[in-house]
Amino acid sequence: MSGIYIHIPFCKQACHYCNFHFSTSLQSKDAIVSAICKEILIQKNYLKEKSLSSIYFGGGTPSLLTDGELGQIFSAIGQVYSWGDKTEITIEANPDDITIEKLNSFKKWGINRLSIGIQSFFDEDLQWMNRAHNANEAQSCIKMAQDAGFDNITIDLIYGSPTTTHEMWAKNIEDALSLDIPHISSYCLTVEENTALHHLVKKGKTSAPDSDKASRQFTGLIDRLTAHGYDHYEISNFAKPERYAIHNTNYWKGAHYLGIGPSAHSYNGETRSWNIAHNQKYILALQDDKIPSETEILALDTRYNEYIMTGLRTMWGVDLDKINAFGESFSAYFMENIGAEIKAGFVVFDGHTYRLTQAGKHFADGIASNLFWVV
């Protein structure tokens, strides 16, 4: 089954670390919503499967959408696709946007999963990151959502920040556990090009993340959550058994998806497309019934590399039969290079599947790159 991703490119303010496409000006929000609805209809033939397994509102900050704007988008999706009670419908939300009225709006439109951008339960971290919410809102919004009947909740947490001591990080984990959240996504703070954090580090106004500190906090995260019954099913994602994110799991397993909105990506197994990351150009193109996107035909080596990259990040690992299906050259190349990773203690093989060890999870990207087919 297929999924749809809707990118809402607006935020109240810019987090210092964020490199996603967004605007802090909401003046074009109505026009963007109209363009998104039109793109859904124009792209009606992109996915062969018309019954959706997931709908995901990301951003940006999609919790800025009004009840009416959500209704417009769901109406457009409903003209092309169908979904049922088991379809996972996720919206990313910031704590400061969550109110009883907002939660009732989400439920009204069938949204059944919340992805809440907590990042930290400490004001020191939140202020350094330039988040719009505070520590009290980080706690209260989760309880409010649970009281409103949302039991499928994931939160984001960031480790490795210069302001996050090991004691604070341990407390962040304990706070998440005490709230009985079924899914936790946790990301290492990184300095991305063209972000406020990149400029601050470059000018010496803040320190760069300490990799040893981040590694220790990542280890603590794995140990504590797995001891508490969570499956570490993807490098950055932990979930109670059978509470994995359907939408993101489909990404990692190579399912097809349609991306709608400025900067959104789409994948159909043979090609990958991405929309222009510019709100006004996106709006103008859709007014002319055009999709402002580029498309790449995925060569065999690209598909092999993507399978290695995504497969190794998950608990399902890389399947030997799938490697062999790429052909003798790729299979032989893989076997030539995987031995070093096994010898280093980074990868284990159970006779059918290659998986990262806990030590290997600290070097997932580097291990994948060592196995990539390079022309």
pLDDT tens column, 281-339: 999 999 999 999 999 999 999 999 999 999 999 999 999 999 999 999 999 999 999 99
What mean pLDDT do residues 90-105 have? 98
CATH code (residue 148)? 3.20.20.70
**CA angle 111–112–114, rounded 5-degree value:** 90
pLDDT at 290 (0 to 100): 97
Among the candidates 223, 252, 281, a domain finishes at: 252
> Could you tell me if 101 and 213 lie in one domain?
yes
- φ and ψ at 272, to 5 degrees? -125, 130
Range of the domain at 98: 2-252
Cα 175 to Cα 143, 163, 231, 351, distances in angstroms:
12, 18, 18, 39
> Could you tell me if 159 and 306 lie in one domain?
no
Q: Is residue 260 part of a domain?
A: no
- Tens digit of pLDDT for each residue in 241-297? 999 999 999 999 999 999 999 999 999 999 999 999 999 999 999 999 999 999 999
Cα 325 to Cα 19, 138, 320, 329, distances in angstroms:
36, 47, 9, 10
Q: Is residue 215 part of a domain?
A: yes
What is this structure's pTM? 0.96
Which of the four pLDDT bands, split at 50, 70 and 90, describes residue 91?
Answer: very high
Q: Is the confidence at residue 1, as pLDDT, over 80?
A: no
Q: Is the confidence at residue 99, as pLDDT, over 90?
A: yes
> Could you tell me if 100 and 248 lie in one domain?
yes
For 37, what's the count of Cα atoms within 13 Å in the CB-facing half-sphere?
17
pLDDT at 237 (0 to 100): 98
> Could you tell me if 198 and 141 lie in one domain?
yes
Q: Is the confidence at residue 125, as pLDDT, over 90?
A: yes
> Could you tell me if 134 and 56 lie in one domain?
yes
Q: Which is it for strands 271-275 and 153-159: parallel, antiparallel or unpaired?
A: unpaired
Q: Which is it for strands 231-234 and 237-239: parallel, antiparallel or unpaired?
A: antiparallel
Return d(Cα 233, Cα 244) in angstroms, integer.
8
Q: Based on the number of CB atoms within 10 Å of its own CB, is 375 exposed (0-12), middle (13-18) or buried (19 or more)?
A: exposed
pLDDT at 261 (0 to 100): 98
- φ and ψ at 356, to 5 degrees? -75, 140
Q: By C-alpha distance, which of 372, 363, 370 is closest to 303?
A: 372
Q: Taking the CB of residue 85, how many other CB atoms lie within 10 A of it?
A: 6
User: Where do we find the tokens 């984001």?
Assistant: 156
Return d(Cα 231, Cα 348) in angstroms, integer.
18
Tally of structural domains, the chain: 2
Cα 363 to Cα 131, 282, 368, distances in angstroms:
29, 37, 9
Return d(Cα 119, Cα 93) in angstroms, integer.
12
DSSP one-letter code for 97: G
> Could you tell me if 143 and 67 lie in one domain?
yes
Q: By C-alpha distance, which of 89, 44, 63, 207 is closest to 141?
A: 63
**Contact of 4 with 258, CB cutoff 8 Å:** yes
